[in-house]
């Protein structure tokens, strides 16, 4: 069945590529062909999409999330796979990856920090609905509804596990990326999540060369490494991870009781299954307490280092803001008395605004970056310290369990559980008997 689903998926992708068309606009004035009587072809302009379809998309999102919950409740990996293919086709190739909950967090950040920035209701819904579902049922959005994750899930053919010593440090990248994206969006500087999304160019079948190369790299990695973007890049996954930790109806590995065979851990390509812990010996307990004291002592140091590093990064980061760039270009022009001016300065001159107002706004943005980057750096240091502390706190666990924050609720582990096989066997016998 999995092979059939993959073939259908790739066939659908090929159909979208073949049937897709592109429109282009004139970049330069057209030449005059009056003498030759040449007539230009009629250019058809695509009408704006009616607003009602935004709410249709929201309804489809809600329906897909409900179907994902039902598929997990019935422990059906087949239905999750089919739903993932639908999500790639609808939210990916048909909707071109927009609106996307991953990118919507930038709109939310700018809307919260800038009172004059309006966030459409559909963006708010796309941002909040997956988080609400994660709070109750786990990361069902990641399971089969997110087009980015569903694409990676579908093309995974030969999973290769990443060693824990490498995977754990890589997990900090999404948090750092989230803080950076929020800072840049809140200051109105850039939407880097959308700008560097490796899958949007694939869904839209166009894009700059560098992003297309990035898309190819992630697709290639996804053949062997389970969801590399979701696990080590996606900033929205940080919020889903946090909400999912409190989920009361998260999917379980076994339908009833764990027999501690360990097959599920080997089957999970995402390292999202926690193993039973044995009781510490006296020497191990002593070493653990000693490490715990050390990490508690260096926790304030990590926070201060993060604040310092964030403050140092504020100046170069503020250079990404157009207002700051314009102010710097104008100041450089006035200082050097050059005969030419940049496009930014020329555009500013057209506005007729005063130079002092521009400098004041640029200084205000620089202060925002100094405060925001310092806070982000301190928070990153705090989380790093707490992770080190948490590694040395023993938790009582006597069975294999999904890590509710890291688990994508993909259902891969279900079929590997002997108790699940026994359940399926009983269902088959009951069906045959009936």
Decide if 24 is inside a domain. Answer: no
Cβ-proximal residues to 156 (8 Å cutoff; 6+ apart), any chain:
222, 223, 224, 226, 227, 269
What SS3 state is found at 401? strand
CB 348 within 8 A of CB 354: no
- Of 6-10, 242-246, 292-296, the range with the lowest mean pLDDT is 6-10
Statement to judge: residues 319 and 409 lie in one domain: no
Contacts of 250 (CB under 8 A, 6+ apart): 137, 138, 244, 402, 404, 407, 409
Is the same domain home to 303 and 213? no
Assigned domain for 35 exists: no
Residue 31 lies in a domain: no
Beta-bridge mates of residue 272? none
Residue 397 lies inside a defined structural domain of this protein:
no
Contact between 150 and 84 (Cβ < 8 Å): yes
Q: In terms of domains, do 237 and 301 share one?
A: no
* Calpha distance 169→307 (Å, rounded): 20
Across the chain, what does the average pLDDT equal?
87
pTM of the predicted protein model: 0.84
pLDDT in tens, 401-410: 999 999 999 9
Verify that 115 and 223 share a domain, yes or no: yes
Residue of higher predicted confidence among 64 and 347: 64
> Both 316 and 203 in a single domain?
no
Q: Is the pLDDT of residue 129 over 80?
A: yes
Residue 398 domain-assigned? no
Please list the helix, strand and coil fractions of the chain in percent, rounded to the nearest 5, in that order: 65, 0, 35
Does some domain include residue 278?
Answer: no
Question: Has residue 82 got a pLDDT over 50?
Answer: yes
Whether residues 212 and 242 fall in one domain:
yes
Give the residue numbers spanning the domain of 357: 286-390
386 and 425 share one domain: no
Mean pLDDT of 66-85: 94
Residue 22 has pLDDT above 50, yes or no: no
How many other CB atoms are found less than 10 A from the CB of residue 315?
13
Mean pLDDT calculated for residue range 111-135:
94
Q: Give the C-alpha separation, 341 to 424, whole Å.
A: 73
User: Is residue 47 situated within a structural domain?
Assistant: no
In a domain, 196, yes or no: yes
In the chain, % of residues over pLDDT 90: 58
Residue 233 sits in the same domain as residue 307 = no
Lowest mean pLDDT among 51-55, 69-73, 94-98, 248-252: 51-55
Looking at mean pLDDT, say which of 340-344, 345-349, 353-357 comes out highest. Answer: 353-357
Question: How far apart, in whole angstroms, are the C-alpha atoms of residue 86 and residue 146?
Answer: 10
Same domain, 241 and 349: no
CA 7 – CA 21 distance, rounded (Å): 24
User: How many structural domains compose the chain?
Assistant: 2
Q: How many residues does the chain have?
A: 434
Cα–Cα distance, 197 to 170 (Å, whole number):
18
* 268 and 318 housed in the same domain: no
415 and 346, same structural domain? no
List the structure tokens of 46: 């695509």
Residues 268 and 290 in one domain: no
């Amino acid at each position: 069945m999995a092979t059939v689903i993959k073939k259908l998926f790739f066939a659908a992708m090929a159909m979208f590529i073949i049937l897709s068309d592109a429109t282009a606009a004139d970049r330069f004035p057209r030449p005059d062909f009056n003498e030759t009587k040449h007539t230009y072809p009629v250019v058809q302009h695509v009408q704006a999409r009616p607003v009602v379809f935004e709410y249709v998309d929201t309804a489809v999102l809600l329906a897909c999330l409900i179907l994902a919950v039902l598929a997990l409740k019935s422990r059906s990996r087949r239905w999750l796979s089919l739903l993932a293919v639908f999500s790639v086709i609808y939210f990916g190739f048909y909707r071109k990856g927009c609106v996307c909950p991953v990118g919507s967090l930038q709109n939310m950040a700018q809307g919260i920090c800038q009172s004059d920035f309006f966030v459409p209701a559909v963006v708010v819904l796309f941002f909040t609905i997956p988080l609400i579902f994660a709070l109750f049922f786990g990361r069902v959005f990641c399971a089969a509804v997110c087009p980015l994750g569903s694409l990676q899930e579908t093309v995974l053919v030969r999973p290769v596990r990443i060693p824990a010593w490498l995977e754990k440090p890589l997990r900090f990248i999404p948090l750092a990326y989230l803080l950076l994206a929020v800072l840049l969006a809140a200051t109105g500087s850039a939407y880097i999540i959308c700008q560097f999304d490796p899958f949007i160019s694939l869904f839209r079948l166009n894009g700059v060369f560098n992003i297309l190369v990035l898309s190819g790299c992630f697709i290639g990695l996804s053949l062997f490494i389970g969801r590399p973007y979701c696990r080590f890049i996606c900033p929205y996954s940080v919020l889903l991870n946090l909400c999912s930790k409190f989920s009361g109806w998260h999917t379980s590995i076994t339908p009833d009781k764990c027999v501690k065979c360990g097959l599920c851990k080997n089957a999970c390509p995402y390292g999202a299954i926690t193993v039973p812990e044995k009781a510490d010996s006296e020497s191990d307990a002593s070493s653990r307490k000693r490490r715990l004291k050390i990490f508690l002592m260096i926790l304030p140091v990590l926070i201060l280092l993060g604040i310092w590093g964030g403050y140092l990064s504020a100046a170069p980061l503020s250079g990404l803001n157009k207002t700051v760039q314009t102010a710097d270009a104008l100041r450089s022009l006035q200082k050097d008395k050059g005969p030419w001016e940049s496009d930014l300065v020329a555009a500013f001159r057209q506005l007729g605004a005063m130079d002092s107002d521009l400098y004041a706004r640029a200084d205000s943005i620089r202060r925002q970056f100094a405060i925001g980057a310092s806070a982000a750096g301190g928070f990153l240091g705090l989380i790093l310290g707490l992770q080190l502390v948490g590694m040395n706190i023993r938790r009582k666990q006597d069975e294999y369990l999904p890590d509710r924050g890291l688990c994508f609720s993909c259902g891969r582990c279900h079929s590997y559980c002997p108790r699940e096989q026994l359940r399926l066997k009983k269902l088959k016998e009951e069906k045959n008997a009936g």
